[in-house]
Protein backbone atom coordinates (compact mmCIF):
# COMPACT_ATOMS: atom_id res chain seq x y z
CA UNK A 1 0.00 0.00 0.00
CA UNK A 2 2.88 2.37 0.79
CA UNK A 3 4.16 1.62 -2.67
CA UNK A 4 0.94 2.90 -4.23
CA UNK A 5 1.00 6.02 -2.09
CA UNK A 6 4.59 6.88 -2.87
CA UNK A 7 4.14 6.27 -6.59
CA UNK A 8 1.13 8.55 -6.48
CA UNK A 9 3.20 11.22 -4.76
CA UNK A 10 5.94 10.88 -7.35
CA UNK A 11 3.44 11.39 -10.17
CA UNK A 12 1.95 14.36 -8.33
CA UNK A 13 5.37 16.01 -7.91
CA UNK A 14 6.03 15.51 -11.63
CA UNK A 15 2.68 17.06 -12.55
CA UNK A 16 3.30 20.08 -10.29
CA UNK A 17 6.64 20.74 -11.97
CA UNK A 18 5.14 20.29 -15.43
CA UNK A 19 2.24 22.55 -14.52
CA UNK A 20 4.54 25.40 -13.43
CA UNK A 21 6.67 24.92 -16.53
CA UNK A 22 3.62 25.47 -18.72
CA UNK A 23 3.02 28.77 -16.96
CA UNK A 24 5.93 30.18 -18.94
CA UNK A 25 3.57 31.28 -21.72
CA UNK A 26 0.00 32.60 -21.63
CA UNK A 27 -0.85 30.18 -24.45
CA UNK A 28 -0.15 27.05 -22.36
CA UNK A 29 -0.82 28.43 -18.88
CA UNK A 30 -4.43 27.21 -18.70
CA UNK A 31 -3.35 23.69 -19.46
CA UNK A 32 -0.57 23.99 -16.88
CA UNK A 33 -3.03 24.89 -14.16
CA UNK A 34 -5.20 21.88 -15.00
CA UNK A 35 -2.15 19.59 -14.93
CA UNK A 36 -1.16 20.92 -11.53
CA UNK A 37 -4.72 20.40 -10.25
CA UNK A 38 -4.68 16.83 -11.57
CA UNK A 39 -1.48 16.24 -9.60
CA UNK A 40 -3.19 17.48 -6.46
CA UNK A 41 -6.20 15.26 -7.08
CA UNK A 42 -4.00 12.17 -7.46
CA UNK A 43 -2.09 13.03 -4.29
CA UNK A 44 -5.31 13.45 -2.30
CA UNK A 45 -6.80 10.19 -3.59
CA UNK A 46 -3.75 8.05 -2.77
CA UNK A 47 -3.70 9.64 0.68
CA UNK A 48 -7.36 8.84 1.26
CA UNK A 49 -7.07 5.17 0.26
CA UNK A 50 -4.06 4.58 2.52
CA UNK A 51 -4.60 1.92 5.19
CA UNK A 52 -3.77 4.12 8.15
CA UNK A 53 -6.95 6.13 7.71
CA UNK A 54 -9.54 4.52 9.92
CA UNK A 55 -12.30 7.09 10.00
CA UNK A 56 -13.62 9.09 7.06
CA UNK A 57 -16.46 11.05 8.63
CA UNK A 58 -14.29 13.80 10.06
CA UNK A 59 -12.33 14.08 6.85
CA UNK A 60 -15.48 14.67 4.87
CA UNK A 61 -16.53 17.48 7.21
CA UNK A 62 -13.20 19.27 6.73
CA UNK A 63 -13.11 18.67 2.98
CA UNK A 64 -16.76 19.71 2.61
CA UNK A 65 -16.39 23.00 4.48
CA UNK A 66 -13.18 23.86 2.66
CA UNK A 67 -14.63 23.05 -0.76
CA UNK A 68 -17.74 25.16 -0.25
CA UNK A 69 -15.77 28.18 0.95
CA UNK A 70 -13.16 27.71 -1.79
CA UNK A 71 -15.68 27.43 -4.64
CA UNK A 72 -17.81 30.34 -3.48
CA UNK A 73 -14.89 32.72 -2.95
CA UNK A 74 -13.22 31.78 -6.25
CA UNK A 75 -16.48 32.39 -8.12
CA UNK A 76 -17.54 35.62 -6.49
CA UNK A 77 -14.26 37.50 -6.12
CA UNK A 78 -13.90 40.53 -8.41
CA UNK A 79 -10.67 40.76 -10.42
CA UNK A 80 -9.83 44.08 -8.76
CA UNK A 81 -9.97 42.28 -5.40
CA UNK A 82 -7.52 39.56 -6.44
CA UNK A 83 -4.76 40.78 -4.06
CA UNK A 84 -7.18 40.35 -1.13
CA UNK A 85 -8.04 36.83 -2.30
CA UNK A 86 -4.38 35.85 -2.57
CA UNK A 87 -3.70 37.35 0.87
CA UNK A 88 -6.44 35.21 2.39
CA UNK A 89 -5.22 32.09 0.58
CA UNK A 90 -1.73 32.75 1.95
CA UNK A 91 -3.26 32.99 5.41
CA UNK A 92 -5.07 29.67 5.03
CA UNK A 93 -1.83 28.00 3.96
CA UNK A 94 0.05 29.37 6.97
CA UNK A 95 -2.73 28.47 9.38
CA UNK A 96 -3.03 24.98 7.98
CA UNK A 97 0.73 24.34 8.41
CA UNK A 98 0.68 25.67 11.97
CA UNK A 99 -2.25 23.45 12.98
CA UNK A 100 -0.76 20.42 11.23
CA UNK A 101 2.56 20.74 13.05
CA UNK A 102 0.78 21.31 16.36
CA UNK A 103 -1.62 18.38 15.86
CA UNK A 104 1.27 16.10 14.91
CA UNK A 105 3.12 17.07 18.08
CA UNK A 106 0.07 16.51 20.32
CA UNK A 107 -0.55 13.11 18.74
CA UNK A 108 2.98 11.88 19.35
CA UNK A 109 5.06 14.17 21.57
CA UNK A 110 8.17 11.97 21.41
CA UNK A 111 10.27 14.26 19.26
CA UNK A 112 13.94 13.98 18.47
CA UNK A 113 15.99 17.17 18.65
CA UNK A 114 15.77 17.73 14.88
CA UNK A 115 12.03 17.15 14.73
CA UNK A 116 11.49 19.46 17.69
CA UNK A 117 13.46 22.28 16.05
CA UNK A 118 11.64 21.86 12.75
CA UNK A 119 8.25 21.70 14.49
CA UNK A 120 8.95 25.01 16.19
CA UNK A 121 10.14 26.66 12.96
CA UNK A 122 7.11 25.37 11.10
CA UNK A 123 4.76 26.67 13.79
CA UNK A 124 6.55 30.03 13.89
CA UNK A 125 6.42 30.64 10.13
CA UNK A 126 2.87 29.32 9.92
CA UNK A 127 1.73 31.67 12.68
CA UNK A 128 3.40 34.77 11.23
CA UNK A 129 1.95 33.96 7.80
CA UNK A 130 -1.53 33.45 9.21
CA UNK A 131 -1.98 36.72 11.10
CA UNK A 132 0.27 38.69 8.74
CA UNK A 133 -1.93 37.70 5.80
CA UNK A 134 -5.10 38.65 7.63
CA UNK A 135 -3.68 42.11 8.34
CA UNK A 136 -2.54 42.36 4.70
CA UNK A 137 -6.07 41.48 3.62
CA UNK A 138 -7.48 44.12 5.95
CA UNK A 139 -5.17 46.76 4.52
CA UNK A 140 -5.85 45.84 0.91
CA UNK A 141 -9.61 45.79 1.34
CA UNK A 142 -9.49 49.07 3.25
CA UNK A 143 -10.87 47.53 6.46
CA UNK A 144 -7.83 48.57 8.50
CA UNK A 145 -6.81 51.63 6.48
CA UNK A 146 -3.82 51.64 4.16
CA UNK A 147 -1.49 53.86 6.19
CA UNK A 148 1.46 52.30 7.98
CA UNK A 149 0.74 52.06 11.67
CA UNK A 150 3.72 52.81 13.88
CA UNK A 151 3.45 53.78 17.51
CA UNK A 152 6.02 54.43 20.21
CA UNK A 153 5.81 51.02 21.85
CA UNK A 154 5.70 48.98 18.66
CA UNK A 155 9.42 48.17 18.53
CA UNK A 156 9.19 47.23 22.21
CA UNK A 157 6.34 44.78 21.51
CA UNK A 158 8.31 43.28 18.61
CA UNK A 159 11.31 42.70 20.86
CA UNK A 160 9.16 41.09 23.56
CA UNK A 161 7.60 38.80 20.93
CA UNK A 162 11.04 37.74 19.72
CA UNK A 163 12.25 37.08 23.27
CA UNK A 164 9.15 35.00 24.04
CA UNK A 165 9.53 33.00 20.82
CA UNK A 166 13.24 32.34 21.30
CA UNK A 167 12.96 31.48 24.99
CA UNK A 168 9.86 29.26 24.65
CA UNK A 169 11.34 27.67 21.56
CA UNK A 170 14.58 26.90 23.35
CA UNK A 171 12.78 25.42 26.37
CA UNK A 172 10.58 23.32 24.11
CA UNK A 173 13.42 21.98 22.04
CA UNK A 174 15.50 21.11 25.09
CA UNK A 175 12.71 18.84 26.39
CA UNK A 176 9.58 18.54 24.21
CA UNK A 177 7.87 16.09 26.61
CA UNK A 178 8.19 18.08 29.83
CA UNK A 179 7.81 21.59 28.40
CA UNK A 180 4.70 21.00 26.30
CA UNK A 181 3.14 24.32 27.26
CA UNK A 182 6.07 26.18 25.70
CA UNK A 183 4.70 25.43 22.25
CA UNK A 184 1.73 27.67 22.98
CA UNK A 185 4.10 30.46 23.94
CA UNK A 186 5.71 30.19 20.51
CA UNK A 187 2.30 30.19 18.84
CA UNK A 188 1.15 33.30 20.72
CA UNK A 189 4.43 35.09 20.00
CA UNK A 190 4.33 34.29 16.29
CA UNK A 191 0.69 35.37 15.92
CA UNK A 192 1.39 38.76 17.52
CA UNK A 193 4.60 39.17 15.51
CA UNK A 194 2.67 38.55 12.28
CA UNK A 195 0.19 41.31 13.12
CA UNK A 196 2.87 43.78 14.21
CA UNK A 197 5.17 43.32 11.24
CA UNK A 198 2.51 43.84 8.55
CA UNK A 199 0.69 46.61 10.45
CA UNK A 200 3.71 48.90 10.08
CA UNK A 201 3.93 48.53 6.29
CA UNK A 202 2.23 51.00 3.96
CA UNK A 203 -0.35 50.08 1.32
CA UNK A 204 2.03 50.91 -1.56
CA UNK A 205 4.46 48.25 -0.38
CA UNK A 206 1.80 45.54 -0.40
CA UNK A 207 3.08 43.83 -3.59
CA UNK A 208 6.28 42.99 -1.71
CA UNK A 209 4.45 41.85 1.42
CA UNK A 210 2.05 39.58 -0.45
CA UNK A 211 4.87 37.98 -2.40
CA UNK A 212 6.84 37.45 0.80
CA UNK A 213 3.88 35.93 2.65
CA UNK A 214 3.32 33.70 -0.38
CA UNK A 215 6.85 32.46 0.04
CA UNK A 216 6.36 31.94 3.79
CA UNK A 217 3.24 29.84 3.24
CA UNK A 218 5.29 27.53 1.03
CA UNK A 219 8.17 27.31 3.47
CA UNK A 220 5.72 26.59 6.30
CA UNK A 221 4.21 23.74 4.27
CA UNK A 222 7.68 22.43 3.61
CA UNK A 223 8.47 22.57 7.33
CA UNK A 224 5.28 20.70 8.15
CA UNK A 225 6.42 18.10 5.61
CA UNK A 226 9.64 17.59 7.61
CA UNK A 227 7.65 17.18 10.81
CA UNK A 228 5.40 14.43 9.48
CA UNK A 229 8.06 12.96 7.17
CA UNK A 230 6.26 13.53 3.87
CA UNK A 231 8.59 14.25 0.95
CA UNK A 232 5.85 15.58 -1.34
CA UNK A 233 5.02 18.31 1.17
CA UNK A 234 8.70 19.26 1.32
CA UNK A 235 9.12 19.45 -2.45
CA UNK A 236 5.83 21.23 -3.24
CA UNK A 237 6.34 23.63 -0.34
CA UNK A 238 9.81 24.53 -1.60
CA UNK A 239 8.53 25.19 -5.12
CA UNK A 240 6.07 27.69 -3.69
CA UNK A 241 8.71 29.13 -1.37
CA UNK A 242 11.07 29.70 -4.30
CA UNK A 243 8.28 31.28 -6.33
CA UNK A 244 7.42 33.75 -3.58
CA UNK A 245 11.06 34.67 -3.02
CA UNK A 246 11.68 35.37 -6.71
CA UNK A 247 8.58 37.56 -6.91
CA UNK A 248 9.63 39.40 -3.75
CA UNK A 249 13.00 40.04 -5.31
CA UNK A 250 11.48 41.33 -8.57
CA UNK A 251 9.19 43.68 -6.66
CA UNK A 252 12.03 45.04 -4.53
CA UNK A 253 14.20 45.67 -7.60
CA UNK A 254 11.33 47.44 -9.33
CA UNK A 255 11.16 49.84 -6.39
CA UNK A 256 14.92 50.10 -6.06
CA UNK A 257 14.72 49.12 -2.41
CA UNK A 258 16.02 46.32 -0.27
CA UNK A 259 13.70 43.93 1.50
CA UNK A 260 14.90 45.20 4.88
CA UNK A 261 14.00 48.72 3.84
CA UNK A 262 10.46 47.66 2.93
CA UNK A 263 9.94 45.71 6.15
CA UNK A 264 11.53 48.09 8.63
CA UNK A 265 10.74 51.57 7.37
CA UNK A 266 10.85 53.71 4.30
CA UNK A 267 8.39 55.46 2.05
CA UNK A 268 5.35 55.61 4.27
CA UNK A 269 6.83 58.15 6.67
CA UNK A 270 8.68 60.44 4.28
CA UNK A 271 7.33 64.00 4.30
CA UNK A 272 6.76 65.73 0.99
CA UNK A 273 7.82 69.15 2.28
CA UNK A 274 11.14 69.33 0.44
CA UNK A 275 9.38 69.32 -2.93
CA UNK A 276 7.74 72.74 -2.68
CA UNK A 277 10.19 74.31 -5.11
CA UNK A 278 8.97 76.11 -8.23
CA UNK A 279 7.50 73.56 -10.61
CA UNK A 280 6.07 75.75 -13.36
CA UNK A 281 2.64 75.67 -14.93
CA UNK A 282 0.24 72.79 -15.21
CA UNK A 283 -1.38 72.50 -18.66
CA UNK A 284 -4.90 71.12 -18.48
CA UNK A 285 -6.63 69.72 -21.54
CA UNK A 286 -10.27 69.01 -22.34
CA UNK A 287 -11.57 65.65 -23.54
CA UNK A 288 -12.38 67.19 -26.95
CA UNK A 289 -8.85 68.43 -27.44
CA UNK A 290 -7.44 65.12 -26.24
CA UNK A 291 -9.59 63.42 -28.85
CA UNK A 292 -8.23 65.64 -31.63
CA UNK A 293 -4.64 64.76 -30.71
CA UNK A 294 -5.40 61.05 -30.33
CA UNK A 295 -7.23 60.96 -33.63
CA UNK A 296 -4.13 62.20 -35.39
CA UNK A 297 -1.77 59.88 -33.47
CA UNK A 298 -0.13 56.91 -35.23
CA UNK A 299 1.14 55.21 -32.09
CA UNK A 300 -0.19 55.35 -28.55
CA UNK A 301 1.14 53.74 -25.38
CA UNK A 302 -1.19 53.35 -22.42
CA UNK A 303 0.38 53.27 -18.95
CA UNK A 304 -2.08 51.94 -16.36
CA UNK A 305 -1.69 52.18 -12.59
CA UNK A 306 -3.64 51.33 -9.48
CA UNK A 307 -5.87 54.36 -10.08
CA UNK A 308 -7.27 52.57 -13.14
CA UNK A 309 -8.36 49.70 -10.91
CA UNK A 310 -9.90 52.07 -8.37
CA UNK A 311 -11.86 53.90 -11.08
CA UNK A 312 -12.82 50.53 -12.66
CA UNK A 313 -11.67 52.10 -15.93
CA UNK A 314 -10.12 49.00 -17.56
CA UNK A 315 -13.11 48.39 -19.88
CA UNK A 316 -13.30 52.04 -20.93
CA UNK A 317 -9.54 51.91 -21.58
CA UNK A 318 -9.95 48.92 -23.87
CA UNK A 319 -12.84 50.59 -25.67
CA UNK A 320 -10.67 53.63 -26.41
CA UNK A 321 -7.85 51.36 -27.59
CA UNK A 322 -10.21 49.63 -30.02
CA UNK A 323 -11.32 52.93 -31.54
CA UNK A 324 -7.69 53.99 -31.87
CA UNK A 325 -6.82 50.76 -33.65
CA UNK A 326 -9.77 51.09 -35.99
CA UNK A 327 -8.37 54.49 -36.77
CA UNK A 328 -5.10 52.88 -37.87
CA UNK A 329 -3.15 53.64 -34.74
CA UNK A 330 -0.81 51.19 -33.04
CA UNK A 331 -1.73 50.67 -29.37
CA UNK A 332 0.48 49.13 -26.70
CA UNK A 333 0.23 48.89 -22.94
CA UNK A 334 3.31 49.53 -20.79
CA UNK A 335 3.15 47.74 -17.43
CA UNK A 336 5.44 48.57 -14.55
CA UNK A 337 6.20 45.58 -12.27
CA UNK A 338 4.82 47.31 -9.18
CA UNK A 339 1.77 48.90 -10.81
CA UNK A 340 -1.23 47.74 -8.79
CA UNK A 341 -1.31 45.98 -5.48
CA UNK A 342 0.30 42.66 -6.38
CA UNK A 343 2.67 41.28 -9.01
CA UNK A 344 0.91 41.12 -12.38
CA UNK A 345 -2.26 42.80 -11.10
CA UNK A 346 -2.64 45.18 -14.08
CA UNK A 347 -2.24 42.35 -16.57
CA UNK A 348 -5.15 40.45 -15.04
CA UNK A 349 -7.40 43.51 -15.01
CA UNK A 350 -6.65 44.29 -18.65
CA UNK A 351 -7.11 40.65 -19.61
CA UNK A 352 -10.51 40.80 -17.91
CA UNK A 353 -11.35 43.73 -20.18
CA UNK A 354 -10.38 41.45 -23.14
CA UNK A 355 -7.14 43.22 -23.98
CA UNK A 356 -5.12 40.62 -25.93
CA UNK A 357 -1.95 39.70 -24.04
CA UNK A 358 0.34 40.47 -27.01
CA UNK A 359 -0.36 44.14 -26.38
CA UNK A 360 0.87 44.00 -22.78
CA UNK A 361 4.53 45.01 -22.63
CA UNK A 362 7.02 44.94 -19.79
CA UNK A 363 8.76 48.13 -18.76
CA UNK A 364 12.23 47.16 -19.99
CA UNK A 365 10.93 46.09 -23.40
CA UNK A 366 9.00 49.24 -24.13
CA UNK A 367 11.23 51.96 -22.67
CA UNK A 368 13.62 52.07 -25.67
CA UNK A 369 10.67 52.53 -28.08
CA UNK A 370 8.98 55.37 -26.23
CA UNK A 371 10.86 58.04 -28.18
CA UNK A 372 8.95 57.05 -31.32
CA UNK A 373 5.55 57.23 -29.68
CA UNK A 374 3.08 60.03 -30.45
CA UNK A 375 1.05 59.93 -27.24
CA UNK A 376 1.52 58.26 -23.86
CA UNK A 377 -1.74 58.01 -21.94
CA UNK A 378 -1.12 57.65 -18.21
CA UNK A 379 -4.19 56.29 -16.44
CA UNK A 380 -4.07 56.28 -12.66
CA UNK A 381 -0.31 55.75 -12.48
CA UNK A 382 1.92 58.21 -10.68
CA UNK A 383 5.12 57.12 -8.95
CA UNK A 384 6.00 54.60 -11.68
CA UNK A 385 6.20 57.45 -14.24
CA UNK A 386 7.88 60.04 -11.99
CA UNK A 387 10.91 61.48 -13.86
CA UNK A 388 12.50 62.42 -10.50
CA UNK A 389 13.58 58.80 -10.31
CA UNK A 390 16.05 59.62 -13.12
CA UNK A 391 16.60 63.36 -12.83
CA UNK A 392 16.61 64.32 -9.16
CA UNK A 393 19.27 62.69 -7.02
CA UNK A 394 17.73 64.14 -3.86
CA UNK A 395 14.40 62.44 -4.50
CA UNK A 396 13.53 59.49 -2.25
CA UNK A 397 12.62 57.46 -5.32
CA UNK A 398 15.85 58.30 -7.17
CA UNK A 399 17.16 55.18 -8.89
CA UNK A 400 13.82 53.41 -9.15
CA UNK A 401 13.25 52.13 -12.69
CA UNK A 402 10.32 53.95 -14.30
CA UNK A 403 8.40 53.98 -17.55
CA UNK A 404 9.98 56.93 -19.32
CA UNK A 405 6.84 58.54 -20.70
CA UNK A 406 8.47 61.97 -21.09
CA UNK A 407 10.33 60.63 -24.14
CA UNK A 408 7.04 60.50 -26.07
CA UNK A 409 5.94 63.44 -28.20
CA UNK A 410 3.11 64.22 -25.81
CA UNK A 411 1.85 62.77 -22.55
CA UNK A 412 -1.75 62.77 -21.32
CA UNK A 413 -2.20 62.22 -17.62
CA UNK A 414 -5.68 61.21 -16.49
CA UNK A 415 -5.96 62.20 -12.89
CA UNK A 416 -8.62 63.11 -10.38
CA UNK A 417 -6.69 66.00 -8.78
CA UNK A 418 -3.15 67.19 -8.14
CA UNK A 419 -2.71 64.99 -5.03
CA UNK A 420 0.65 63.22 -4.88
CA UNK A 421 0.76 59.40 -5.21
CA UNK A 422 1.38 56.71 -2.65
CA UNK A 423 4.94 57.66 -1.95
CA UNK A 424 3.72 61.15 -1.05
CA UNK A 425 6.09 62.72 -3.57
CA UNK A 426 5.23 65.50 -6.01
CA UNK A 427 5.51 64.46 -9.64
CA UNK A 428 7.36 66.89 -11.99
CA UNK A 429 5.90 64.99 -14.95
CA UNK A 430 2.71 67.01 -14.49
CA UNK A 431 4.64 70.25 -15.11
CA UNK A 432 6.56 69.17 -18.20
CA UNK A 433 6.04 71.08 -21.41
CA UNK A 434 4.73 68.11 -23.36
CA UNK A 435 2.38 66.97 -20.59
CA UNK A 436 -1.34 67.67 -20.67
CA UNK A 437 -3.48 66.99 -17.63
CA UNK A 438 -6.96 65.58 -18.22
CA UNK A 439 -8.60 66.11 -14.83
CA UNK A 440 -11.58 64.11 -13.61
CA UNK A 441 -12.64 60.52 -13.03
CA UNK A 442 -10.58 58.33 -15.39
CA UNK A 443 -13.57 56.29 -16.50
CA UNK A 444 -15.66 59.37 -17.34
CA UNK A 445 -12.81 61.09 -19.15
CA UNK A 446 -12.26 57.99 -21.26
CA UNK A 447 -15.98 57.80 -22.02
CA UNK A 448 -15.92 61.40 -23.19
CA UNK A 449 -13.08 60.69 -25.61
CA UNK A 450 -14.76 57.50 -26.85
CA UNK A 451 -18.00 59.42 -27.45
CA UNK A 452 -16.05 61.88 -29.60
CA UNK A 453 -14.69 58.98 -31.63
CA UNK A 454 -18.21 57.62 -32.16
CA UNK A 455 -19.45 60.89 -33.62
Partner 1 sequence: MDGEMIIYILFIVMLATFLGVELISKVPSTLHTPLMSGSNAISGITLLGALSLAGSALNEMSVVLAIISVAMATINVVGGYLVTHRMLDMFKKKEKD
Query: Residue 35 Cβ, how far from partner 1 at the closest point, in Å?
Result: 11
101 or 316: whose CB is closer to partner 1? 101
306 or 412: whose CB is closer to partner 1? 306
383 noted as active-site residue: yes
Alpha carbon distance 392, 292 (integer Å): 34
| Catalytic residue of the set 369, 383, 392, 441 | 383
Range 395-454, binding partner 1 (CB under 8 A): none
* CB atoms inside a 10 Å sphere around CB 73: 13
Q: Is residue 342 at the binding interface for partner 1, with CB under 8 A as the rule?
A: yes
Q: Is residue 58 at the binding interface for partner 1, with CB under 8 A as the rule?
A: yes
96 or 406: whose CB is closer to partner 1? 96
Query: Residue 374 Cβ, how far from partner 1 at the closest point, in Å?
Result: 21
Alpha carbon distance 366, 273 (integer Å): 33
Query: Residue 169 Cβ, how far from partner 1 at the closest point, in Å?
Result: 18
- Please tell me the number of Cα atoms within 13 Å of 266 on its side-chain side: 20
Binding track over 114-153 against partner 1, x by CB under 8 A:
xx--------------------------------------
Kindly tell me which residue out of 10, 11, 92, 270 binds partner 1, with binding defined by CB under 8 A.
92
Alpha carbon distance 130, 102 (integer Å): 14
Number of residues that bind partner 1 (CB under 8 A): 112
Alpha carbon distance 36, 20 (integer Å): 7
Kindly tell me which residue out of 84, 95, 164, 405 binds partner 1, with binding defined by CB under 8 A.
95
Query: Residue 283 Cβ, how far from partner 1 at the closest point, in Å?
Result: 33
Q: Is residue 317 at the binding interface for partner 1, with CB under 8 A as the rule?
A: no
218 or 396: whose CB is closer to partner 1? 218
53 or 166: whose CB is closer to partner 1? 53
261 or 359: whose CB is closer to partner 1? 359
Kindly tell me which residue out of 354, 368, 371, 451 binds partner 1, with binding defined by CB under 8 A.
354
CA distances from 417 to 177, 188, 218, 315, 439 (A): 63, 45, 41, 22, 6
Kindly tell me which residue out of 1, 7, 56, 150 binds partner 1, with binding defined by CB under 8 A.
56
- Using alpha carbons, select from 252, 307, 302, 278 the residue that is nearest to residue 408: 302
Query: Residue 325 Cβ, how far from partner 1 at the closest point, in Å?
Result: 10
Three-state secondary structure of the chain: CHHHHHHHHHHHHHHHHHHHHHHHCCCCHHHHHHHHHHHHHHHHHHHHCCCCCCCCHHHHHHHHHHHHHHHHHHHHCCHHHHHHHHHHHHHHHHHHHHHHHHHHHHHCCCCCHHHHHHHHHHHHHHHHHHHHHHHHHHHHHCCCCCCCCCCCCHHHHHHHHHHHHHHHHHHHHHCCCCCCCHHHHHHHHHHHHHHHHHHCCCHHHHHHHHHHHHHHHHHHHHHHHHHHCCHHHHHHHHHHHHHHHHHHHHHHHHCCCCHHHHHCCCHHHCCCHHHCCCCCCCCECCHHHHHHHHHHCCEEEEEECHHHHHCCCHHHHHHHHHHHHHCCCEEEEEECCCCCCCCCHHHHHHHHCCCCHHHEEEHHHHHHHHHHCCEEEEECCCHHHCCHHHHCCCCCCCCCCCCCHHHCCEEEEEECCCCCCCCCCCCHHHHCCCEEEEECCHHHHHHHHHHHHHC
Query: Residue 334 Cβ, how far from partner 1 at the closest point, in Å?
Result: 12
77 or 282: whose CB is closer to partner 1? 77
Over the Cα atoms of the chain, what is R_g?
25
- The window from 213-221, 394-402, 403-411, 446-454 that contacts partner 1 (CB under 8 A) reads 213-221
Query: Residue 20 Cβ, how far from partner 1 at the closest point, in Å?
Result: 5
Q: Is residue 345 at the binding interface for partner 1, with CB under 8 A as the rule?
A: yes
214 or 426: whose CB is closer to partner 1? 214
- The window from 197-205, 210-218, 385-393, 400-408 that contacts partner 1 (CB under 8 A) reads 210-218
70 or 371: whose CB is closer to partner 1? 70
Query: Residue 352 Cβ, how far from partner 1 at the closest point, in Å?
Result: 5
Kindly tell me which residue out of 84, 104, 134, 301 binds partner 1, with binding defined by CB under 8 A.
104
Binding track over 8-47 against partner 1, x by CB under 8 A:
--------xx-xxx-xxxxx-xx-xxx-xx--x--xx--x
Q: Is residue 198 at the binding interface for partner 1, with CB under 8 A as the rule?
A: no
Q: Is residue 308 at the binding interface for partner 1, with CB under 8 A as the rule?
A: no
Kindly tell me which residue out of 239, 373, 384, 389 binds partner 1, with binding defined by CB under 8 A.
239
Query: Residue 296 Cβ, how far from partner 1 at the closest point, in Å?
Result: 24
CB 5 within 8 A of CB 50: yes
Range 261-290, binding partner 1 (CB under 8 A): none
Q: Which residues are catalytic?
A: 383
Amino acid sequence: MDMIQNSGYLIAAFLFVLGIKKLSSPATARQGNLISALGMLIAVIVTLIHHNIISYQELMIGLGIGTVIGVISARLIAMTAMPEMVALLNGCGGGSSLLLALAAYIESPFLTLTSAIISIISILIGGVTFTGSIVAWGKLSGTFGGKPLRFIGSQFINIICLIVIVWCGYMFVSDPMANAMMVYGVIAGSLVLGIMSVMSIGGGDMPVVIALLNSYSGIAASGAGFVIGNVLLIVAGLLVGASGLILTNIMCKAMNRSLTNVLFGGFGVIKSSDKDKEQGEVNPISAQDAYLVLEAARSVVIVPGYGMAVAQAQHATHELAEFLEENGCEVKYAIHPVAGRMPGHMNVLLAEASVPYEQLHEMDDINPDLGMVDVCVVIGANDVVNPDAIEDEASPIYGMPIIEVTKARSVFVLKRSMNPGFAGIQNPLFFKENTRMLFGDAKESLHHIVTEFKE
